[in-house]
């Protein structure tokens, strides 16, 4: 099928990319831009491991045709740390031990970022509800929820 | 499961007319793409084989606007499930729809997926459809011969089948104004929050002078389509609603459904659960109608 040129702003950098219609955003990120922090796991919109922020909203890169992301602003896990410093959510995940194998972590972090952007002071229940579309087979979720709450507290103090 | 999708042609119409034109040319070989959360996984699983993908997200006449009108509420075809869930208008006047969408687990799916997409997939396990059935929703449909309005309850024909022709699209969901002293509730039974419903139930009750003026009950995952259980509704009409009447209606609902056995539940269990969920949904709706 005919290739088309699309423009994607990924982690602040504008890319002009040539894609065929059936190529997903997940494939573009991983295979054309080498941003392999975004995972492909279930491929069916069940697990959230492929989550990226598109125009600030958490969406599934495995269910998004790259063509439909044309002109949009995409944040992947590679863009979360700034100037070599981890985002407060990343620090909290490390400090709270919210990571085991790490496969779900990029999706967890980006969904958590979307949550805190929307609701800077969530309750435990709100965190659990917001992260319900992100599956983790290792941690049992308790420490992940702890970490998001810890990051919220830290960010509300004005810490970076 | 495959990692990549098979090639297809791609078209981004700018007007509804262009979209209908493309759909008329390609017919069943084309698929309409909006949020993609149902369609893209089916492409990956090789359960759908479109030769053309018609992305309707760039059509200027289509939008995701949720607004009050003289008749009630209008929800644009591109409204995401999440935007409907969070809409203050929906929360205030159509709480049962908020409750149904709230019960859907993944924020990502709700951010990307549209309510209209969910309806067109026509799964009998839809959580959105029962809520729209009890709210007396209508769908505005545009096709080559013009526009028409179809009541939600006449929309479904079977599993994955609706009255929508391959060259027609839904442009709006229309909800009538809520009546005074009306309460609604949505409940579902699932194995885990992220799974689809084993059974779901939505109800609205309108009360007047202590009696039930109008009752609407819809259930999902218990027949080939989401459906209204009208015998159960009939039990409630013009009655003073006590626990006994509600129990009789719930039993009638369980008699009306025709569930199957599958990996999620047996038919017998689904029938019994229909009774329990309808009873609880009616109790909750009654409480809210009185409040």
State the residue range of the domain holding B37: 9-56
Beta strands B30-33 and A73-75, pairing class: unpaired
Burial class of residue B244 in the structure, from the number of CB atoms within 10 Å of its CB (0-12 exposed, 13-18 middle, 19+ buried): exposed
Instruction: Find the mean pLDDT for residues B13-41.
Output: 96
Does the structure show a pLDDT above 80 at B201?
Answer: yes
Dump pLDDT digits (tens) for B270-291.
999 999 999 999 999 999 998 8
Measured distance CA(A156)–CA(B284) in Å, rounded: 38
CATH for B42: 3.30.43.10
pLDDT at B291: 81
Does the structure show a pLDDT above 80 at A160?
Answer: no
pLDDT at B1: 75
Task: Say yes or no for a CB contact (<8 Å) between A45 and B106.
Answer: yes
CATH superfamily of A88-156: [2Fe-2S]-binding domain (1.10.150.120)
- Residue B131 is assigned to a structural domain of this protein: yes
Of B56, B74, B89, the residue at which a domain comes to its end is B56
Residues B70 and B52 in one domain: no
Instruction: Find the mean pLDDT for residues A50-77.
Output: 98
Does the structure show a pLDDT above 80 at A12?
Answer: yes
Residues B108 and B150 in one domain: yes
pLDDT at A2: 84
Q: How many domains does chain B have?
A: 3
User: Do residues B226 and B133 make contact, with C-beta atoms less than 8 angstroms apart?
Assistant: yes
Residues B148 and B205 in one domain: no
Half-sphere exposure of B196 (CA within 13 A, CB side): 18
Task: Say yes or no for a CB contact (<8 Å) between B40 and A46.
Answer: no
Residues B94 and B155 in one domain: yes
- Tokens at residue B68, please? 């009050």
Question: Helix, strand or coil for residue B199?
Answer: strand
Task: Say yes or no for a CB contact (<8 Å) between B8 and A65.
Answer: no
Dump pLDDT digits (tens) for A83-107.
999 999 999 999 999 999 999 999 9
Q: How many CB pairs under 8 A join A and B?
A: 99
Overall fold of domain A4-79: Ubiquitin-like (UB roll) (3.10.20)
CB-CB neighbors (< 8 A) of A44 in chain B: 1, 41, 44-45
Q: How far is A95 from chain B (nearest CA, A)?
A: 26
CATH for B257: 3.30.390.50
Does the structure show a pLDDT above 60 at A138?
Answer: yes
- Residue B61 is assigned to a structural domain of this protein: no
Dump pLDDT digits (tens) for B102-161.
999 899 999 999 999 999 999 999 999 999 999 999 999 999 999 999 999 999 999 999
Does the structure show a pLDDT above 80 at A158?
Answer: no
- Residue B2 is assigned to a structural domain of this protein: no
Residues B172 and B70 in one domain: yes
pLDDT band at A1 (very low <50, low <70, confident <90, very high): low
Residues B217 and B286 in one domain: yes
Q: Which of A4, A6, A22 to mutate to test the interface with B (most CBs of B within 10 A)?
A: A22
Dump pLDDT digits (tens) for A118-135.
999 999 999 999 999 999
B contact set with A (CB within 8 A): 1-10, 12, 33, 35-37, 40-41, 43-45, 53, 55, 57, 105-109, 111-112, 193-194
Closest by alpha carbon to B196, among B118, B133, B138? B118
Residues B78 and B156 in one domain: yes
Dump pLDDT digits (tens) for A56-69.
999 999 999 999 99
Query: Considering chain B, what is the average pLDDT of its residues?
Result: 96
Q: Which of A6, A23, A58, A61 to mutate to test the interface with B (most CBs of B within 10 A)?
A: A58
> Residue B227 forms beta bridges with which residues?
B219
Dump pLDDT digits (tens) for B47-78.
999 999 999 999 999 999 999 999 999 999 99
Residue-range domain boundaries for chain A: 4-79, 88-156
Identical fold for domains A4-79 and A88-156, yes or no, is: no
- Residue B3 is assigned to a structural domain of this protein: no
Q: Provide CB contacts within 8 A for B86, sequence distance 6+.
A: none
- Tokens at residue B213, please? 């003026």
Q: Give the ipTM of the model, two decimals please.
A: 0.95
Does the structure show a pLDDT above 60 at A3?
Answer: yes
Residues B48 and B82 in one domain: no
- Tokens at residue A122, please? 């969530």
Q: Provide CB contacts within 8 A for A158, sequence distance 6+.
A: none
Q: Nearest residue of A to residue B110 by CA position? A: A59
**Can you give A108-147 as a three-state secondary structure string?**
HHHHHHHHHHHCCCCCHHHHHHHHHHCCCCCCCCHHHHHH
Of B176, B201, B217, the residue at which a domain comes to its end is B176
pLDDT band at A159 (very low <50, low <70, confident <90, very high): low
């Amino acid at each position: 099928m005919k290739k088309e040129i699309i423009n994607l702003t990924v982690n602040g950098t504008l890319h002009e990319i040539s894609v065929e219609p059936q190529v997903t955003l997940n494939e573009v990120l991983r295979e054309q831009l080498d941003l392999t922090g975004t995972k492909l796991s279930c491929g069916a919109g069940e697990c959230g491991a492929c989550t990226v922020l598109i125009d600030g909203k958490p969406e599934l890169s495995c269910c998004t045709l790259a063509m439909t992301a044309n002109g949009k602003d995409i944040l992947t896990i590679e863009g979360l740390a700034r100037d070599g410093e981890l985002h407060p959510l990343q620090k909290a995940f490390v400090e709270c031990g919210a990571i085991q194998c790490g496969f779900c972590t990029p999706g967890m972090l980006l969904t958590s970022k979307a949550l805190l952007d929307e609701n800077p002071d969530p309750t435990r229940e709100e965190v659990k509800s917001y992260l319900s579309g992100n599956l983790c087979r290792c941690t049992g979720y308790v420490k992940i929820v702890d970490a998001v709450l810890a990051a919220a507290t830290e960010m509300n103090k004005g810490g970076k | 499961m495959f990692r990549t999708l098979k090639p297809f042609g791609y078209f981004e119409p700018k007007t509804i007319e262009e979209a209908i034109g493309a759909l008329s040319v390609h017919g069943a070989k084309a698929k309409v793409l909006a949020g993609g959360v149902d369609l893209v996984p089916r492409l990956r699983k090789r359960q759908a084989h479109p030769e053309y993908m018609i992305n309707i997200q760039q059509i200027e006449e289509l939008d995701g606007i949720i607004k009050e009108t003289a008749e009630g509420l209008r929800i644009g075809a591109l409204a995401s499930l999440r935007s409907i869930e969070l809409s203050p208008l929906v929360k205030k006047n159509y709480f049962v729809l908020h409750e149904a969408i709230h019960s859907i687990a993944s924020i990502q799916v709700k951010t990307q997926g549209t309510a209209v997409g969910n309806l067109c997939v026509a799964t009998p396990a839809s959580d959105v459809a029962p809520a729209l059935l009890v709210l007396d929703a209508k769908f505005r449909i545009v096709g080559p011969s013009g526009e028409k309005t179809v009541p939600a309850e006449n929309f479904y024909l079977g599993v994955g089948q609706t009255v929508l022709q391959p060259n027609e699209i839904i442009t709006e969901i229309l909800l009538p104004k809520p009546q005074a002293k009306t309460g609604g509730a949505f409940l579902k039974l699932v194995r885990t929050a992220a799974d689809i419903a084993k059974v779901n139930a939505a109800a609205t009750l309108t009360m007047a002078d202590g009696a039930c003026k109008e009752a609407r009950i819809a259930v999902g995952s218990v027949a080939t389509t989401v459906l209204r259980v009208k015998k159960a509704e009939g039990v409630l009409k013009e009655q003073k609603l006590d626990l006994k009447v509600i129990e009789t209606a719930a039993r009638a609902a369980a008699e009306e459904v025709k569930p199957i056995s599958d990996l999620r539940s047996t038919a017998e269990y689904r029938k019994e659960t229909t009774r329990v969920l309808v009873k609880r949904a009616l109790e909750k709706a009654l409480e809210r109608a009185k409040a």
